[in-house]
Chain A
Amino acid sequence: MHYSEGQWIDFVRGLTETAAAREMQTHLGSNCADCQALVDSLSVVERTAFQDRALPVPTAAIARAMAIFRPAPRVSFFDLPRVLAEIVFDSRHQPLLAGVRKMDPQVRHVVFRSSVLQSEVQLEVRAPKRILAVTGQLSTPASDELLAKGMRVALTDGQLTLAEAPANEFGEFELECSFQRGLQLVAWSPQGPEAVVMDLDGVLGNWKQSVVTEDGPQQ
């Protein structure tokens, strides 16, 4: 006869009555490999649990440790030297596939590159409120260190920050703001060394008119 997991848990915790524990020990001695494997695993857990039960971390000590954390004041890209990224791909300038009459005018794919990072960006205008949604992924060809440190991205009109967010650990981000003139996408690490500026205005320049035409008159 085998014993249940519950009985073995009580056994390794020393909660089994002496007579029953002796019988269980005899069962283990009879070379029951399954029960022995289970007891080995449970004993490993019990060894750790025994220590943690004996040394519970005081709630006050945990609270003090948690209170240490103060999110650092965010370094703005306005504080960093800025470099302009070049456009290395723009879906608008790609020939249409054979048989395709027209591309979706609301969506554009653009790739920017600077000396420190590359950014693949999808730009989408969402009607009817004319919201520009920017989703993308940053990559750092030379080193992953920048991404590991945590990068931030922002949409700006050159004077005001219209939207800002952290990129996740894979460099992915999403931002949105109203579709307007003079937009720039900026990516930077709070540790520097520089903020990379991606000029969306140049990309969106001619596009605005076609999007406006599709959506109705611009305000």
Chain B
Amino acid sequence: MTDLASTISEALHGAPDRSWPDERLLTACRNGDQRAWEALIAKYQSMVYSIPYRYGATADDAADIFQGVWMDLYQELPHLRNAEALRSWLATVAGRRSLRWKRSLQRRGEVDLPDEDRDEPENADPLPPEAMAEVERDQTVREAIAGLPPRCRELVELLFFKDPPISYTEAAAHFGLATGSIGFVRGRCIRKLQQALEERGLGPS
């Protein structure tokens, strides 16, 4: 048997990656491509994992909720119609699972829920609009970075997401550059990043 269509598609577009649009990743998942599933997780993992913490979840509970969200997505894969809404779908499912977790603690008397959470129906939007806006903004930033050319993406992630922070000498060594050259590359990448943020409505205020 041959799988030439996927080979050709891969030669043209590369392997599934978190910079791919959701629709393409979902289609590839439905076609059984494990790498597309991994790219979906890479794309949204930080967003999904951050939501339980907004409800006060511990690391263990957040990890359980995180896994539950991906199980829900896996089961919904054949039925998800609107790929553009995937981001808010994931945020909503993570919020509902978090709220359910918090209610279970309340039933056991381990936590006291605020009145507004106590009265929320099960299918209500679990995150308040301002929290949802923050979640969306953070995800937009991650996607702007993911959409940069690979070297710029890597550099921006090294400079911002590395903990503890690395020096520019270390960053230059990472890319096999002379320390004096990193400034030029960094300047170019930061300009691309600014442009990517602006395109997504996150330009300077």
A binding-site residues for B, Cβ under 8 Å = 4-6, 9, 13, 15, 36-38, 40-42, 44-49, 51-53, 55-58, 60-62, 64-66, 68-69, 71-72, 74, 145, 148-150, 153, 161, 163-169, 172-176, 191
Contact yes or no, B186 A6, CB < 8 A: yes
The contact of B59 among A49, A58, A175, by CB within 8 Å, is A58
For the complex, is B9 an interface residue (Cβ under 8 Å from A)?
Answer: yes
Q: Report the nearest B residue to A134, measured CB to CB.
A: B4
Q: A6-B182, A36-B204, A60-B63 are in contact. List 6 more A-B contacts (CB 8 A).
A: A41-B193, A47-B138, A52-B46, A58-B63, A166-B31, A172-B9
Residues in A whose Cβ lies below 8 Å from that of B173: none
Given A5-B186, A41-B194; A53-B161 close (CB under 8 Å) = yes
Closest Cβ of chain B to A68, distance in Å, is 5
Report chain B residues within 8 Å CB of A163.
1-2
CB pair A69–B138 under 8 Å, yes or no, is no
Which residues of A have CB within 8 Å of B59? 58
Q: Is A65's CB under 8 angstroms from B30's CB? A: no
Contact of B160 among A46, A60, A68, A175 (CB under 8 A): A46
Write the chain A residue with the least CB distance to B29.
A69
Known: A5-B190, A41-B193, A49-B160. A164 touches B1 (CB 8 A): yes
B66 touches A40 (CB 8 A): no
CA separation between A57 and B53, bound complex, in Å?
Answer: 12
Q: Is the CB of A48 within 8 A of B138?
A: yes
A27 to B182 CA separation, bound complex (whole angstroms)? 24
Q: From residue B196, how far is it (CB to closest CB) to chain A in Å?
A: 10
- Does any Cβ of A come within 8 Å of B99's Cβ? no
6 residue pairs, one from A and one from B, having the closest CB atoms: A71-B32, A40-B204, A49-B160, A37-B204, A69-B37, A65-B70
B189, chain A: closest CB distance, angstroms: 9
In the complex formed, the residue of B with least CB distance to A37 is B204
Size of chain B's interface in residues, with CB distance under 8 A? 59
Contact between B161 and A174 (Cβ–Cβ < 8 Å)?
A: no
Q: How far is B160's CA from A5's CA once the two chains are assembled, in angstroms? A: 13
Q: Do B141 and A45 have beta carbons less than 8 Å apart?
A: yes
Enumerate 27 A-B pairs (CB-CB under 8 Å) in ascending A order: A6-B182, A6-B186, A13-B165, A37-B204, A38-B190, A44-B197, A45-B160, A48-B141, A53-B161, A55-B49, A58-B59, A68-B37, A68-B67, A68-B74, A69-B37, A72-B32, A74-B32, A149-B78, A150-B30, A164-B1, A166-B31, A166-B32, A169-B24, A175-B4, A175-B5, A176-B2, A191-B78
CA distance A176 to B78 in the complex (A): 29
User: Is B202's beta carbon under 8 Å from chain A?
Assistant: yes
CB pair A161 B194 closer than 8 Å:
no
The verdict on B3 contacting chain A, using a C-beta distance below 8 Å, is: yes
Taking A5-B186, A150-B30, A191-B78 as contacts, is the C-beta distance between A169 and B23 under 8 angstroms?
yes
Q: A6, A41, A149: which contacts B197 (Cβ < 8 A)?
A: A41
Closest Cβ neighbor of A9 among chain B residues: B159
Enumerate chain A residues within 8 angstroms of B9, measured Cβ to Cβ. 168, 172
8 Å CB contact of A149 from B6, B30, B34, B186: B30
Q: Kindly identify which residue among B5, B6, B32, B204 contacts A41, using a CB–CB cutoff of 8 Å.
A: B204
Residue of B nearest to A177 (CB): B2
A46-B160, A48-B142 known; A165+B30 contact, CB < 8 A:
no
Q: Indicate if the CB atoms of B49 and A44 lie closer than 8 Å.
A: no
Give B3-56 interface residues, CB cut-off 8 Å to A.
3-6, 8-9, 23-24, 27, 29-34, 37-38, 41, 45-46, 49-50, 53
Note all chain A residues with C-beta closer than 8 A to B5. 153, 165-168, 172-175
B188's nearest neighbour on chain A, judged by CB, is A5
The CB with the most chain A CB atoms within 10 A, among B30, B37, B205, is that of B30
Once A5-B187, A6-B183, A169-B23 are accepted as A-B contacts, the answer to whether A174 and B160 lie under 8 Å apart by CB is no
Which residues in A have their C-beta under 8 angstroms from that of B165? 13, 15
Closest CB of chain B to A144's CB: distance in Å?
Answer: 11
